[in-house]
Amino acid sequence: MIAKLKLFTITLILSSTVFSQQGTNKICLSTPIAKKIAIELTQCDSIKIELQQTQHVLNLVHLKSQYQDSTISIYRKKTTVNDSIVKAYQNQTIQYQSLVEQLTKEKQQVEEQLERSQILSNWLTGGMLAFIGIFVGNTIK
């Protein structure tokens, strides 16, 4: 409605026999040329509005792109932190495995020493019994 009113007003002004601008001499335009000028001026206004809307949409797209970039950056940092946590866990697992292997070896060594001690104890017990038997046997005779 406003566009039609603008078009009508511009047509009315331009269709007068004389069209003047500041700083110029008077120009006479015919009605068909005045109508064409009015239509082009109206189209120019609508093109300006469309340009502003396009610029607004472009700004929104730019902001969205920046937001996505910051989100991607956050996820990259998060992934880096998660990777370091996984590596730390893997290192801890390796250390635990190493400790388990070391403790297993120590257990085997202790078991071997215990076995040797039992054998030695059996020999000593047998030797002491034999000595006591010999000693008692010699004392009784």
- 81-123 residue pLDDT tens: 999 999 999 999 999 999 999 999 999 999 999 998 888 787 7
- Size of the chain in residues: 141
- Burial (Cβ within 10 Å: 0-12, 13-18, ≥19) of residue 84: exposed
Q: What is the pLDDT of residue 132?
A: 72
C-alpha span between 95 and 129 (Å, rounded): 50
The residue ranges of every structural domain in the chain are 2-99
Quick: pLDDT tens for 42-52. 877 888 888 99
Do residues 41 and 10 lie in contact, with contact meaning Cβ atoms separated by under 8 Å? yes
Element (DSSP H or E) covering residue 14? helix 2-15
- Summarised one tens digit per residue, pLDDT across range 8-43 is 676 666 655 455 455 556 667 788 887 887 888 787
Cα–Cα distance for residue pair 131/137, rounded to 1 Å: 9
